[in-house]
Chains A and B, each alone.
Chain A
Amino acid sequence: MKEFIKRLRSPSAKYSLLSLLFVGFVGGIVFWGGFNTAMEATNTLEFCISCHEMRDTVYEEYKQTIHYSNRTGVRAVCSDCHVPKDWAHKMARKVKASGEIWGKLAGTIDTPEKFEAKRLELATHEWDRMKKSDSRECRNCHSFDGMDTEKQKNRASKMHKIAQSDNKTCIDCHKGIAHKKPKNMPEEPDDE
């Protein structure tokens, strides 16, 4: 082993620097491309619903909502809302999401009953994440700048004006827009 490490550390006498750089460059592209492709594969709708825990519950609920089917045909899939777009936040989210593998192995939500029992806890984690990021993933598509409140219905128009003046974030009001709201949600103070 020591010999192997020593060989790795010693300069090459056989290959030119250019060859080494080229191989490193190409290898980097292949590695990076492969890594990114694999990571993007985990961002697809198909990947998310490859487990019955998501497919039978939140996916079925999402299919009834405007983020799945709407007049214009623009669809937001799971990762559009639940995975950050920028690399650093995306990596952090993916690392954290790897904990879900343990949940899968342990079967923490592998029946509808278990899922319902944990729905509030799981939803609260996601709402907290969205609140902390100022609803960053919502704002990839929606923004107050691009919003014409005069074209909205009264309730949306008035609430969005209040939200802007009070520096509210999307998730403050828009809980349960793509999935069923948990039962017995706690009271929320007005300033949240």
Chain B
Amino acid sequence: MYKIEISKFLMVILLAVGSASAIAAPDWSKVPKREIHVFHPGVTPIEWVMKKSDHSGRTGLTKGESCVGCHEEKGGLNFDMKRLAGKEIEPKAAPATVSFPVGVQAAYDKEYLYIRMTFTPPAGGADHSDKDNDVKAAVMFANDKIALDAGGKIVAGAQLGCWASCHGDARTMPGADDKKTKYAKSGTYELMQWKSGKGSKPVDGVVSDKRNMEGGMAGVKAQSEIKGGMYTVTFVRKLNGALADGKAVPVGFAIHADKATGRFHHVSLGYMLGLGADGDIKAAKLQ
């Protein structure tokens, strides 16, 4: 009996140490910050992106260009923000703030990847359907098999960010099936999401032929801090699946602000996260 109690005690200590090390945040003051901009995309699913009469950049994509390569400038995105704010792209109504900055920091060690997002979610949203969460923050990683066949030309996940999972027939799109979720025609995204609602657990999910909000193998943990309207969300996940040391991985970020659901999020373009490799966002290697 006594032995059992001691072994139980040791197990608790070990678990506590283990979980503490898993979420032991790096010294973020020493990790470089990359500022990206997230924007309200409206109804621009992958079908829109790949239709030349809607988006002449299809030509660039089929020639190997990435979304970021064309649309990111020093200091922001070069979209026609008036067009994004109008009803042409978003038939319901666009949020008052079409685009806002997010600071992204990343670090990794042998076992874990740490991602920190710093942002001030704007009010003035156009959709307030999420009664449980004021704000949600998500990160998706594409594995090597995420790709699109554009008339025989292959467009890779590294060019598209999350767009290969965003379809016009998925829930919250105009006239779409309310039960159909994000999906990818080939490959898998690993999804992690933090929700502000009380008692909400971080999502460790995957997107393949449909979206599963659980069942991921990344052991996602998330912490948050809110100061003066500024949110700091820190994710920790295992360095497994699509992620590995020495690899650059396609990554995209999304924020649902002001109780938004579905397509009424602000999303980033697709970036490359360098883990000991070149990338738009370079993760610092922790000793």
Q: Is B201 on the interface with A (CB-CB < 8 A)?
A: no
Instruction: Kindly name the residue among B59, B62, B69 whose own CB sees the greatest number of chain A CB atoms within 10 A.
Output: B59
Inter-subunit contact B71/A154 (CB<8 Å): yes
Q: Give chain B interface residues in 141-157, CB to chain A under 8 Å.
A: 150-151, 153
Expressed in whole angstroms, the Cα–Cα distance for A31 and B221 within the complex equals 86
Q: Is B57 on the interface with A (CB-CB < 8 A)?
A: yes
Q: Give chain A interface residues in 161-192, CB to chain B under 8 Å.
A: 162, 172-175, 181, 185-190
Q: Is B287 on the interface with A (CB-CB < 8 A)?
A: no
Expressed in whole angstroms, the Cα–Cα distance for A186 and B71 within the complex equals 25
Contacts of A162 in B (CB 8 A): 59-60, 63
Q: Is B130 on the interface with A (CB-CB < 8 A)?
A: no
Q: Is A151 on the interface with B (CB-CB < 8 A)?
A: no
Interface string of B48-84 (1 = CB under 8 A from A): 0001111011111011010001111100001000000
Instruction: Kindly name the residue among B56, B57, B63, B78 whose own CB sees the greatest number of chain A CB atoms within 10 A.
Output: B56
Contacts of B63 in A (CB 8 A): 162
Inter-subunit contact A187/B70 (CB<8 Å): no
Inter-subunit contact B73/A154 (CB<8 Å): yes
Contact-residue bracket for chain A: 10 to 19
If the complex has contacts A153-B73, A189-B151, A190-B151, are A158 and B60 also in contact, measured as CB distance less than 8 A?
yes
Q: Give chain B interface residues in 136-179, CB to chain A under 8 Å.
A: 150-151, 153
Inter-subunit contact A188/B57 (CB<8 Å): no
Inter-subunit contact B78/A155 (CB<8 Å): yes
Of all chain A residues, the one with the shortest Cβ separation from B51 is: A187
State how many angstroms separate the Cβ of A35 from the closest Cβ of chain B. 40
Expressed in whole angstroms, the Cα–Cα distance for A175 and B52 within the complex equals 10
Question: Which residue in A154, A155, A158, A186 is a CB contact (below 8 Å) of B53?
Answer: A186
Expressed in whole angstroms, the Cα–Cα distance for A181 and B73 within the complex equals 27
8 examples of A-B residue contacts, CB within 8 angstroms: A154-B73, A162-B60, A174-B56, A181-B53, A188-B53, A190-B59, A190-B62, A190-B151
